[in-house]
C-alpha cells in the first residue's frame, strides 16, 4: 500500500507539472499563431529606394496617395545607381524606382538578381535640340549633329536619329545590350557629321551645331524646352521609361498593386507634368 500511495502521489505531481507547462506554453503558442497570421497578411509598411532629386520629390506625392489606401511608404534615397538593386535583392528594400529596363536587364545579367519590373513611372526623354531648325527635314546636307560620347547615351542618340529617319544603323546594334557607335552607321543620306562630346558640353555647344542630342536634366538647366526646342524626342513609353521593381517573389502581392496604383494616379501625373514642365513625362 505504501508503494501504491507513492506511485499515486508521483502521478499526481506529474499531472500538475504538465498542467502548469501547458498553461505556460499556451500564451507562447497563441502569440506564435498570431505572428504567423500577421505574416500571412499583406504588408502595410514598405521601404522604397529612389534616386535623390526628381524621383524623391515625386515619391513624396506617391506617399500621400498610397497612405489613403492604407500603405505607408518609407522613402530611402540613393546617390548612385548600383546600391538600390543590391539593397532590394538583399531584402533591405521592398521596391525601388530609379531605373529603366535596359539598365535593370544589364544588372540582372551581371549580378543574377531576381528582380522584376511591376509598373512604369516616368520617362526622362532624350531630345534632339536645335536653335536653327524646327524639324528634321530642314537639316541641310553635311549638318553637324552633337551626340554624347559615353556608350549608353551615345547609343540612345543614334537610335533617336535612326527613329527620326536621319540615319540607319547596322542590324543587331543599338538594342539588346549592344551599344551602337558612329562607326555602325550604314546609311546617312544627309551626310550628317556626328560630333561626339561630353554630355554636359552639348547645351553650350548648341550655337555651333545644327542640332544636338541633350539629356533632359542638362537641357532643363540650360533653359531648353522639350516641347519648344526639339526636332526629335524619345517615346514616353519606349525602352528608357523608368519603372518600379520588386523581388520576383513579391510581384503579385497586394501591396505591390497598391504601390503601382498610387504612382500611376492622376494626382502624381499632374504633379510630374506641372512640376517638371515637360522635362520628365509620365510613362503610364
State the Cα–Cα distance between residues 233 and 276, nearest whole angstrom: 16
Q: Using an 8 Å Cβ cutoff, are 119 and 161 in contact?
A: no
**The listed CATH number (3.40.50.450, 3.30.950.10, 3.40.190.10, 3.20.20.30) that belongs to domain 45-125+239-282:** 3.40.190.10
Residue 102: the pLDDT is 82
Residue 246: the pLDDT is 98
Q: What is the pLDDT of residues 35-62, one digit of tens each?
A: 444 444 689 999 999 988 788 999 999 9
Please indicate whether residue 82 or residue 30 has the higher confidence score (pLDDT).
82
Which DSSP symbol is given to 195? E
Pairing of the two strands 211-214 and 144-148: parallel
State the Cα–Cα distance between residues 124 and 179, nearest whole angstrom: 19
Residue 157: the pLDDT is 96
Hey, CA dihedral for 71, 76, 78, 84, is it positive or negative?
negative
Q: Give the domain ranges of the chain.
A: 45-125+239-282, 127-233
State the Cα–Cα distance between residues 92 and 277, nearest whole angstrom: 34
Residue 34: the pLDDT is 43
Residue 21: the pLDDT is 54
Residue 24: the pLDDT is 56
Q: What is the pLDDT of residues 104-128, one digit of tens each?
A: 988 898 899 999 999 999 998 899 9
Question: Per residue in 126-154, is it b (16+ CB within 10 Å) or e — as a string?
Answer: bbbbbeeeeebeebeeebebbbbbeeebb
Same-fold call for 45-125+239-282 versus 127-233: yes
State the Cα–Cα distance between residues 67 and 73, nearest whole angstrom: 8
Q: Domain 127-233: give its CATH superfamily.
A: Periplasmic binding protein-like II (3.40.190.10)
Question: Mean pLDDT lowest for which of 7-21, 63-77, 119-133?
Answer: 7-21
Q: What is the pLDDT of residues 236-259, one digit of tens each?
A: 777 889 999 999 999 999 999 999
Q: What φ, ψ does residue 81 adopt, rounded to 5°?
A: -100, 0
DSSP three-state, residue 154: helix
Question: Mean pLDDT lowest for which of 23-27, 115-119, 155-159, 194-198?
Answer: 23-27
Q: Using an 8 Å Cβ cutoff, are 65 and 265 in contact?
A: yes
Angle at 281 between CA 278 and CA 284, to 5 degrees: 155
The DSSP element (H or E) to which 216 belongs, if any, is helix 216-221
pTM: 0.67
Hey, CA dihedral for 142, 143, 146, 150, is it positive or negative?
negative
Q: What is the pLDDT of residues 148-185, one digit of tens each?
A: 998 888 999 999 999 999 999 999 999 876 889 999 99
Residue 42: the pLDDT is 84
DSSP three-state, residue 96: strand
State the Cα–Cα distance between residues 229 and 183, nearest whole angstrom: 28
Q: Is pLDDT above 50 for 11?
A: no
Amino acid at each position: 500500500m505504501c508503494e501504491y500511495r507513492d506511485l499515486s502521489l508521483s502521478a499526481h505531481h506529474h499531472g500538475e507539472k504538465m498542467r502548469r507547462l501547458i498553461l505556460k506554453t499556451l500564451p507562447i503558442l497563441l502569440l506564435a499563431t498570431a505572428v504567423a497570421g500577421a505574416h500571412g497578411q499583406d504588408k502595410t509598411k514598405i521601404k522604397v529606394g529612389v534616386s535623390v532629386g526628381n524621383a524623391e520629390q515625386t515619391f513624396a506625392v506617391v506617399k500621400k496617395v498610397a497612405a489613403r489606401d492604407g500603405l505607408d511608404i518609407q522613402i530611402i534615397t540613393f546617390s548612385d545607381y548600383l546600391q538600390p538593386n543590391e539593397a532590394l535583392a538583399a531584402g533591405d528594400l521592398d521596391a525601388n524606382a530609379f531605373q529603366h529596363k535596359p539598365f535593370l536587364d544589364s544588372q540582372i545579367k551581371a549580378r543574377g538578381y531576381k528582380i522584376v519590373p511591376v509598373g512604369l513611372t516616368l520617362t526622362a526623354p532624350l531630345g534632339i535640340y536645335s536653335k536653327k531648325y524646327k524639324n528634321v527635314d530642314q537639316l541641310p546636307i553635311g549638318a553637324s549633329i552633337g551626340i554624347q560620347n559615353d556608350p549608353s547615351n551615345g547609343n540612345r542618340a543614334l537610335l533617336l536619329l535612326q527613329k527620326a529617319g536621319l540615319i540607319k544603323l547596322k542590324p543587331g546594334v543599338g538594342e539588346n545590350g549592344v551599344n551602337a557607335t558612329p562607326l555602325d552607321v550604314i546609311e546617312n543620306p544627309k551626310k550628317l557629321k556626328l560630333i561626339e562630346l561630353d554630355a554636359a558640353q552639348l547645351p553650350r555647344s548648341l550655337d555651333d551645331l545644327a542640332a544636338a542630342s541633350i539629356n533632359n536634366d542638362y537641357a532643363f538647366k540650360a533653359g531648353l524646352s522639350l516641347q519648344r526646342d526639339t526636332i526629335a524626342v524619345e517615346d514616353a513609353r519606349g525602352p528608357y521609361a523608368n519603372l518600379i521593381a520588386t523581388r520576383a517573389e513579391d510581384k503579385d502581392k497586394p501591396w505591390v498593386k497598391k504601390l503601382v496604383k498610387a504612382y500611376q494616379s492622376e494626382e502624381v501625373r499632374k504633379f510630374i507634368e506641372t512640376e517638371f514642365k515637360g522635362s520628365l513625362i509620365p510613362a503610364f
